[in-house]
A and B are shown apart, each in its own frame.
Chain A
Amino acid sequence: MKSDSIVVLGSLHYDIYIQSKSIPKIGETVLADNWFPKLGGKGANQAVALRKEFKNVKFISAIGDDIFSKFLLQKLNEHKVSADYISKIKGDSGVSVAISNEAGDYSAVVVSGVNTKIPEKFLCDSKLWEGVSSLMIQNEISEEINALAAQEAKKRSIKVFLNAAPAKNIENLIKFVDILLVNEIEAQQISNDYSNSFESIAKKLSKKISKVIITLGSKGVIACEKNRTPIHIKGHHVDVKSAHGAGDYFAAKFLLEFLKNNTFENAISVANKKTADFISA
């Protein structure tokens, strides 16, 4: 690896994870078995997954001044993710509830709280970017701060990796992005192409972004590089225990592998296999 650190900018949530036999439908009250608090937010999940295998991760996010902030700092510390770039802001920490069923599917509601107010101060400081190889961002915080970070990274020829989840308009961001990672629903919304032809969606997106990866769950991954033919990497058939956090796990594994060997297709294959193990473990 040429450079030695990765900047992750993104959300940090107190996740309330509920294990239930079924997920309540509208108008329904379901008695569930168990719940536990988890460190969550796509930014935090990706930072933690990177940190497991990689030392220099700078995670930029925010916590509120409430009862959840203590738990969040404690969990980041347990995972050895530094709190140097976590700003404490007056207001509510980000929270989410995920209700999972026995099949491993889940529904979630995220309330961003102070994640929408992550300050710009670190991003404009050149010290942050010293020795940084990549910037990893997602769509759970405001597009403005993402765009500012991406612009700063681009100026310094740092690779910008966007996991555009959840799907939203990324018009102002797209020109700074080197690698785009999306799932099926996000791919359709961003390309405004609701066909199920993901090869052609990948091809279309790769006209604007040099590397595009679309994950298709059990069906594997479609990827496309600018001016190349899309490739399909098949899924691994496993018994899913929980798909919660699978996208974040894939994103981190891909980036690490890609930085290590710089081969696009191989990095996807490795991430694909590791994610299959992760969701069935």
Chain B
Amino acid sequence: MGFNIIFNSTGIINFAQGEFCMFGGLFTFTFAVTLGLPLPLAIILAIVATALIGGLMERSIVYPLRNASIITAIIATVGASILFKSLGRLFWPKEAYKVPEFSSGNINIPGATVSRQFLWVLGLTVVSVLLVYLFFNHTRAGKAMRACSINRQAASLVGINVSRMSLYSFMLAAALGGVAGLVNAPFASYSIGLFLGIKGFTAAVVGGLGNTFGAVTGGLVLGLLEELIPGFLTVVLGVSTGYKDAVAAILLITVLLLRPQGLLGKGVAEKV
């Protein structure tokens, strides 16, 4: 979803999106464990801190490159991703950090056992989707951002500050990445940002770029496929589950070639 927001308003694919997730998790750890703050406060601080990093990145890297070619922008965000990861290693030298779970234990539903943490993940996802939806459809800033994504020149003509919208969208995307990172924190930590990046992009493309709900649907589809296909592979074909990592990439290419507008997206006529 963060991908979608940035892509919409700036036309840039941000390869450092995965690192925002990393920062989200690591900041939560620092605030909650090292500084001993209560968890809700730590979470809010972590989100704010990640958003600040996103804003900083936009001002220092993306804004100067607003007129540059696609590949220049890609390389710059890749550079940011490498830089962020190294900085992460520098300040948090251990490989994995255990962030306390929001609430431990499992809940027994007839037929299945669900960990409370999973419910939190689900809940936070729903809440953030709802918030983003409300933001984009019912606030001035959100509508302005959507205007920028449709046509930047026209948006600036009606008096929208396009560059500020770009800044906001980076901060928003970083904050969302932070949320994703911190809900994941107890389960996993340091993951390869690029891998996460392609997964996020796949989710966005599968759902249709420029469609907030599409990204969520895409994420769900991708998550399900990633769990189902390896099972299918092992049971039916008897091959190793290591192929799981290729699922996202194969799905991405297939969707791009066969249905480039995404599963939910509307067809777009291209202007020559």
Is A bound to B?
A: no
